[in-house]
Amino acid sequence: MDTIELWSDSIKKISGVKYVKIKGDIEHIEAIHIVINGIKSPKQIVRDVEAVLLAMFDYQVDHRIISVAQLELEEVQTIMRIKYEGINVKMDDPYIECDVQLSHNGQVFTHTERGIRTPLNRYITIAKGAVGCIEKAVQGKYFLDIIDVQLHQSKGIEFVCIVIQMIGNKQDDTLIGTAIIKDDSYEAVVKATLDAINRRILT
């Protein structure tokens, strides 16, 4: 798989993206054409594409070459999404403990996760807390594994990028999620986790 194909494959893993076509080569990208399903706004998709290319390939793309076309959103998709409800984080050196709350179909799910508080592992621990909630919500339909969690900054915007391996429906899939850090980086990690998996749990 060449670099352009790898980029295209990675962009397709962004929640809400249906189709991708990249014009040009690695030396000069002319345009990135994307078709989305309406789960997210075109503006958010453009930000996600910028985040994924920067985080995974260290490539800063000009947002002006990204065009987005939106298909009609199926009504059921807004009903079944797992939603963020809250997070409580406690420090007990050398550990970090988090209680993550998510809701799905009118039910609230809570999961507690504990890990060593190293600079990277604290974010992985938060992501595992989110994954624990998600697995409860989908009742064993999918199993999730955190591959990587990264924090980045681009054009003054801080964001989280997460890579998750999903096992279910007799196949494995690699998912990518992003979330802008507003006030709380831990909250952003949970939201990036949801961003990665919500497209898959809708089916």
DSSP codes, 84-148: EEEEEEEEETTEEEEEEEEEETTEEEEEEEEEE--TTHHHHHHHHHHHHHHHHHTTTSEEEEEEE
DSSP 8-state code for residue 63: G
Domains in the chain, please, with CATH? 3-73 (3.30.70.1350), 79-201 (3.30.160.270)
38-66 average pLDDT score: 88
pTM of the full structure: 0.70
pLDDT in tens, 86-104: 999 999 889 999 999 999 8
Instruction: Give me the chain's average pLDDT, please.
Output: 87
**Out of 72-81, 110-119, 186-195, least confident range:** 72-81
Residue 173 pLDDT greater than 50, yes or no: yes
Query: Per mean pLDDT, which of 71-80, 131-140, 182-191 is the most reliable?
Result: 182-191
Residue 203 pLDDT greater than 60, yes or no: no
Alpha carbons within 13 angstroms on the beta-carbon side of residue 147 total 15
Predicted confidence band at 1 (pLDDT cuts at 50, 70, 90)? Answer: low
pLDDT in tens, 123-172: 999 999 999 999 998 887 888 899 999 999 888 889 999 999 988 766 67
Instruction: Tell me what pLDDT residue 72 has.
Output: 65
Predicted confidence band at 201 (pLDDT cuts at 50, 70, 90)? Answer: low
